[in-house]
């Protein structure tokens, strides 16, 4: 009887240790998966591109609610996920600039998965990428993207609503909120894991006048506006700022 009690106590302790170990491993996996998701979004935002004269291809857009998503064009690094599919190996193509779209999709066990789809800027998404996207995280409870800018009340604040008529440029900052639940397929009992990351976007939209060129053709040729100096500011000499030869945008002769 004493021996049976000892064995029962040892077994109970071992079961608790194994249970705690499993929960810890599941929590570590969730934290690692969350870091992967936030890193993937951050790496893409570091190379975001937008051209005012080519908004048909370089539009920036986000949405929240029942079907949240974040979509933009970026020049992605060589280490980015599925880079070999679009650069080099696939018929010698060089599609470093691609549209990336982060969105939620229905998973296999009734939960929602955060997926990533990519396609070259001037090409449609291929059927393989459409049918088999890259799953970044499973059982995503919440995925919210906010942008920092001026709202309808002319106040600078975080906003979840995106208006194409008002916000046709790249926002200066984005805030992503992510909540991951336990992995249903593995029977995990880890608690929900939440994190919020703020990204400062280093790029801005390329103006159309720069992209197409000015009056002097591609590459510029525009003269700066004249600068009026106060009387006597240059001792009666001609204003050097209005001299065409001092124009830094002046194109050199061929």
Looking only at Cα atoms, what is the longest distance across the chain? Answer: 114
Q: What is the pLDDT of residues 112-126, one digit of tens each?
A: 999 999 999 888 888
Task: Give CA–CA dist 39/176, Å, rounded.
Answer: 11
Contact 143, 47 (CB under 8 A): no
Give the pLDDT confidence of 162-197 residue by residue, as tens digits.
Answer: 877 666 688 889 999 999 887 655 555 566 788 899
Instruction: Give pLDDT, residue 34.
Output: 81
Pick from 53, 52, 70, 73: nearest CA to 61: 70
Contact 199, 176 (CB under 8 A): yes
Express each pLDDT in 94-110 by its tens digit: 788 999 999 999 887 78
Looking at per-residue confidence, does 235 or 68 come out higher? 68
Highest mean pLDDT among 111-115, 153-157, 209-213: 111-115
In this prediction, residue 248 carries a pLDDT of 46
Is residue 249 pLDDT above 90, yes or no?
A: no
Establish how many alpha carbons lie within 13 A of residue 18's alpha carbon, considering only the half-sphere containing its beta carbon. 6
Q: Which residue has the tokens 């992967």?
A: 36
pTM of the predicted structure, to 2 decimals: 0.71
């Amino acid at each position: 009887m004493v021996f049976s009690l000892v064995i029962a106590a040892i077994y109970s302790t071992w079961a608790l240790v194994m249970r705690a170990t499993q929960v810890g491993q599941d929590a570590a996996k969730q934290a690692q998966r969350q870091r992967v998701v936030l890193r993937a979004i951050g790496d893409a935002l570091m190379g975001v591109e937008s051209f005012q004269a080519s908004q048909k291809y370089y539009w920036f857009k986000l949405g929240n609610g029942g079907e949240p998503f974040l979509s933009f064009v970026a020049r992605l690094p060589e280490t980015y996920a599925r880079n070999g599919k679009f650069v080099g190996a696939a018929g010698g193509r060089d599609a470093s600039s691609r549209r990336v779209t982060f969105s939620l999709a229905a998973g296999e066990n009734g939960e929602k998965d955060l997926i990533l789809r990519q396609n070259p800027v001037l090409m449609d998404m291929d059927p393989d990428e459409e049918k088999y996207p890259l799953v970044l995280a499973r059982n995503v409870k919440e995925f919210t993207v906010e942008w920092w800018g001026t709202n309808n009340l002319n106040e600078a604040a975080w906003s979840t609503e995106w208006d194409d008529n008002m916000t046709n440029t790249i926002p200066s900052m984005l805030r992503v909120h992510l909540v991951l639940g336990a992995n249903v397929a593995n029977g995990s009992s880890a608690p929900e894991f939440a994190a919020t990351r703020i990204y400062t976007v280093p790029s801005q939209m390329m103006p159309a006048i720069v992209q197409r060129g000015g009056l002097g053709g591609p590459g510029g040729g525009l003269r700066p506006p004249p600068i009026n100096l106060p009387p006597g500011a240059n001792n009666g000499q001609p204003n050097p700022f209005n001299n065409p030869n001092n124009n830094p945008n002046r194109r050199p002769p061929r």
